[in-house]
Amino acid sequence: MAGRLEGKVAIVTGAAGYLGMAHSVHMAREGARVVVTDIIDGQKTVDAVTEAGGEAIFQRVDVTSWDDVQRMADDTRAEYGRIDILVNNAALVANIQKPWTEFTPDEWDRNLAVDLKGMFMCARAVYPTMQQQRSGRIVNISSGTMMIGMPNFLPYVSAKAGVIGFTRSLATELGTDNITVNAILVGLFPHEIAGLDNMEAMTEMVMGMQALKRVGQPDDLSPTVAFLASDDAGWITGQAIAVDGGLVRSGG
């Protein structure tokens, strides 16, 4: 398999999920060996990568556990000898939808722990390896909801806004190590989400706001993840790129 990620080792968090699986398969097609990580079983993603002719292993990782994320970095290094790419994709995706006054402090803490602190912990865990290599790519998955101020998902949207500040600040700190850090403002890629009962109406509404009048598919997004993870993107860092069919028409 020849591609722009030939010889690279990539960790994808939340890789058992809808988009994480697509990113894993796409990066494997581009030549990366993929460490599929998730709090739930990721064997389906490993199988999908294998079917696509790529190589992947699964590690069960809760991104809110420091022990787990350290083990993730240690085991990846033990297995493959390097870590080139971290895709911070895991999130509690819009799992609770309600007016902001109904969110409890515990729900807020849990959202922020998975969606924002988890990214810090994963980056912190892979950093010593990337620093030693003097190269690395960190791709943080944010959401266009923070640009449009989507109501009824306050902790999620707040965490995804935090991801942009995290990306910019970390990019500045890691520039001296030749490590790039970028974010993607992901538009709507509808799929069944537990706790979300109005996906059809939301899809119609969002499509009305998009410049491109069709529903986004994972393959509309994964190539940008792979690009930001590749050597081709070596001069891009600290950026937030919207991949959303023209939903928001400016960067983060």
In the complex, least distance from residue 19 CB atom to ligand NAD, rounded to whole angstroms: 3
- Tokens (6 digits) for 37: 């990580």
Measured CA to CA, the distance from residue 236 to residue 17 in angstroms comes to: 27
Q: Do residues 131 and 145 touch, judged by C-beta distance below 8 A?
A: no
Cα–Cα separations (whole angstroms), residue 228 to 87, 179, 225: 10, 12, 5
Element (H, E) at 180: strand 179-186
Task: State which of residues 25, 34, 86, 92 lies at the interface with ligand NAD (CB under 6 A).
Answer: 92
In the bound state, the residue with its beta carbon closest to ligand NAD is: 17
196: three-class secondary structure by DSSP: coil
Could you give the strand order of the β-sheet that contains 85-88, starting from the edge strand earlier in sequence?
A: 55-60, 33-38, 9-12, 85-88, 136-143, 179-186, 240-243
Residues in a beta bridge with 143: 186
184: three-class secondary structure by DSSP: strand
Residue 20 is a binding residue for ligand NAD (CB under 6 A): yes
Residue 39 is a binding residue for ligand NAD (CB under 6 A): yes
Among residues 75 and 81, whose Cβ is nearest to ligand NAD?
75
Among residues 171 and 188, whose Cβ is nearest to ligand NAD?
188
Residue 19 is a binding residue for ligand NAD (CB under 6 A): yes
Q: Do residues 25 and 49 touch, judged by C-beta distance below 8 A?
A: yes
Using CB under 6 A, which residues numbered 46 to 85 contact ligand NAD?
61-64
Residue 163 is a binding residue for ligand NAD (CB under 6 A): no
Q: Is 80 a known active-site residue?
A: no
Count the residues of the shown chain that bind ligand NAD, applying the rule CB under 6 A.
Answer: 25
Residue 103 is a binding residue for ligand NAD (CB under 6 A): no
Query: Which positions from 173 to 202 touch ligand NAD by CB under 6 A, shown as an x/- string?
Result: -------------x-xx-------------
Q: Do residues 59 and 34 touch, judged by C-beta distance below 8 A?
A: no
Among residues 36 and 83, whose Cβ is nearest to ligand NAD?
36
Residue 93 is a binding residue for ligand NAD (CB under 6 A): yes
List residues near ligand NAD by CB under 6 A. 13-14, 16-20, 38-40, 61-64, 89-93, 114, 141, 143, 186, 188-189
